[in-house]
Amino acid sequence: MREKEQTGEGKFDMLMKIEGLSVAYGTIRALDDVVLEVMPGEILSVIGANGAGKSTLLKTITGITKPFAGTIVFNGMAIHGARPDKVVKLGITIVPEGRRIFPDLTVKENLELGGYPITDRALKTELFDLVVTTFPRIKERLKQHAGTLSGGEQQMLAMGRALMGNPKLLLLDEPSMGLSPIITREIFSLMRLINRDRGISMILVEQNAHMALEHSERAYVLENGRVTMNGLSREVKSSPGIIEAYLGV
């Protein structure tokens, strides 16, 4: 199924459009009538407390969790209910919460697994070169078992593995989790570098609202599975309610 609203030469006004998305775990509604848009080339942040539905949103986009209502249209194609492998091939990859690297495999083997959807050898080589250039620490540890990396290096590996899938949209689930402030700043700087140099759109789910709003153009606030606010990140950041609830000021 194709989205009807289309602009010149087969291009769409937005990369992703979510409407009326609802997800339930038993009797508990994790997402309730969520509406969200992602524009090409932007970093969009989603902030909220634990249990607000942030990770559920990403899992539903990737096809891991199925909605009982609503639509997700990506690059003009309806993907709600699609299998995760199809979603990856369409150009959506995720850096999961907790990184979820394969500790007993080498760094290089982890990256190769991320590139499994890519059949073009030249493109796969280009993506590998991109990863090791962007993350020089990873390049130094290609033969090392991933489980022996530091937390920051594992996060870089998880991001590199996602980039190996050649995404149009990169989903980042709590990238600062368990990292020191210094490493967190480095990770976010690398995220901005990738966005700027490759034009990859990103959805950043992050409990560290300061960092999320500082490094995104627009933001959505999730509370109990519902979007309660959205707008330019600088405007969300200056909202008295957001300052009191999430910024600790």
Where on the phi/psi map is residue 16: left (φ > 0), alpha (ψ -120 to 50), or beta? Answer: beta
pLDDT reading at 10 higher than 50: no
Is position 24 within any domain? Answer: no
* Percent of the chain as helix, strand, coil, to the nearest 5: 40, 25, 35
Q: What confidence score (pLDDT) does residue 179 get?
A: 83
Q: What confidence score (pLDDT) does residue 9 get?
A: 39
Per-residue pLDDT tens over the stretch 48-57: 988 899 999 9
Is position 13 within any domain? Answer: no
Work out the widest C-alpha separation in the chain, in whole angstroms: 51
Split into its structural domains, the chain has a count of: 1
Is position 189 within any domain? Answer: yes
- Average pLDDT of the residues in 195-209: 91
Per-residue pLDDT tens over the stretch 228-246: 999 999 999 988 888 877 7
Is position 16 within any domain? Answer: no
Is position 55 within any domain? Answer: yes
Reported as a pLDDT band with limits 50, 70 and 90, residue 81 is confident
Reported as a pLDDT band with limits 50, 70 and 90, residue 248 is low
Is position 173 within any domain? Answer: yes
**Other CB atoms closer than 10 Å to residue 144's CB: what's the count?**
14
- Average pLDDT of the residues in 107-126: 91
Q: What CATH number has the domain bearing residue 194?
A: 3.40.50.300
**221: enclosing H helix or E strand:** strand 218-223
- Average pLDDT of the residues in 173-177: 89
**167: enclosing H helix or E strand:** none
CA distance 49 to 46: 10
Per-residue pLDDT tens over the stretch 179-191: 888 989 999 998 9
Where on the phi/psi map is residue 51: left (φ > 0), alpha (ψ -120 to 50), or beta? Answer: left
* Domain residue limits at 217: 40-63+81-247
CA distance 94 to 61: 10
Say what the pTM is: 0.87
Is position 193 within any domain? Answer: yes
Is position 216 within any domain? Answer: yes
- Round the average pLDDT of the chain to a whole number and report it: 89
CA distance 60 to 57: 5
